[in-house]
Amino acid sequence: MSAVICGSLAFDTIMTFEGRFSEQILPDQLHILNVSFLVPALRREFGGCAGNIAYSLRQLGGTPLPMATVGSDGVEYVTRMKTQGINTEFVREVNDTYTAQAMIMTDRDNNQITAFHPGAMMQAHITRIEARSDIRLGMISPDGRDAMQQHAEQFKAAGIPFVFDPGQGLPMFDGKELAHFVELASWVTVNDYEARMLCDRIGLSCAEMSKQVQGLVVTLGEQGCEVWIDGDKTVVPPVQAEAVVDPTGCGDAFRGALLFGLEQGWSLARCAALGNRVGAHKIASRGGQNYALNLAKIDV
């Protein structure tokens, strides 16, 4: 069974700030904010939510179908995915633009500040989702605004259950639009900050929202995650990481595991538990796509 993963393919420029953002940003001076961070460590990685999630799902033995757009500079990325056994039939090249770019700065407490240039991602809606016998599952992750809305409608029309994962794209939508996404989706996954924003905008609690879908997952970082089903909450405990090196892509690694479990027909709590294990493994590696999973070790 294949899973269509709608979202971005991006190049991540990852920088490390050795101090704390909280020590550099004065709360009472935000109206004249003018800060500079010295970042002695810098590297460029393959990233983007669709790419990271597809990488995680493929590592677990799943069959990802990323649906995304790249710019004229994206050939290297597409070639790399092919060598990893990831089907790129739904990845399109858009000329005269760059592949999406994320500039991510992480401080010593693993807080992050990100600047994102969407580039070719803004044309992601040009690829349509159609019903197909081998496609049984989907995910809407952060993408171009039009693409997120149209792909959600297309998943529903094709009878393909999907996970709504708005991520950093959540602020683009008002309460009515977000409520419609929830209405169309089978599952919703957000982190704790996004959960508060989503609940505030649609005017529902997590318990109430979970009654409108098959399940809601709220990730809590090092504290594990919450699984909400029909108004009831289950706390899935965290997994201790062997090393904390780089949080970039941990949420996407979790979501790849979530999709893998859903492909297998697991309970949502079991899917989330695998997500916690994969996320704990990923955080010990730099970048979103540089880890290798030992399936026996993470108990798949």
Is residue 190, in this structure, part of any structural domain at all? yes
Domain membership of residue 31 (yes or no) is no
Sign of CA dihedral 160, 1, 178, 48: negative
Residues with a catalytic annotation lie at: 252
- How do residues 85-143 score in pLDDT, each as one tens digit? 999 999 999 998 999 998 989 899 888 888 889 999 999 999 999 999 999 999 999 99
Span 24-52, average pLDDT: 88
Asked if residue 104 belongs to a domain, the reply is: no
Percent over 70 (pLDDT), the chain: 100
Which tens digit of pLDDT belongs to each residue from 65-83? 999 999 999 999 999 999 9
Domain membership flag for residue 88: yes
DSSP string, 161-207: -EEE--GGGGGGS-HHHHHHHHHH-SEEEEEHHHHHHHHHHHT--HH
Mean pLDDT of the chain: 94
Number of domains, the chain:
1
Confidence (pLDDT) at 29 = 75
pLDDT bucket at 223, cuts 50 / 70 / 90: very high
pTM, 2 dp: 0.90
Helix (H, G, I), strand (E, B) or coil at 122: helix
**pLDDT at site 240:** 92
Q: What is the pLDDT of residue 94?
A: 94
207 within domain boundaries? yes
Q: Residue 64 belongs to what domain range? A: 2-7+48-99+122-282
Q: Quick check: 180 pLDDT over 90?
A: yes
Q: How confident is the model at residue 254 (pLDDT cuts 50, 70, 90)?
A: very high
| Residue 174 pLDDT level (bands cut at 50, 70, 90) | very high
Distance CA 176, CA 85 (A): 39
Inside any domain, residue 289: no
Residue 93's φ and ψ, nearest 5 degrees, are: -100, 130
Give the three-state DSSP class for 107.
coil
CATH number, residue 91: 3.40.1190.20
Residue 45 has pLDDT above 80, yes or no: yes
The residues that bridge with 100 in the sheet, in sequence order, are 10
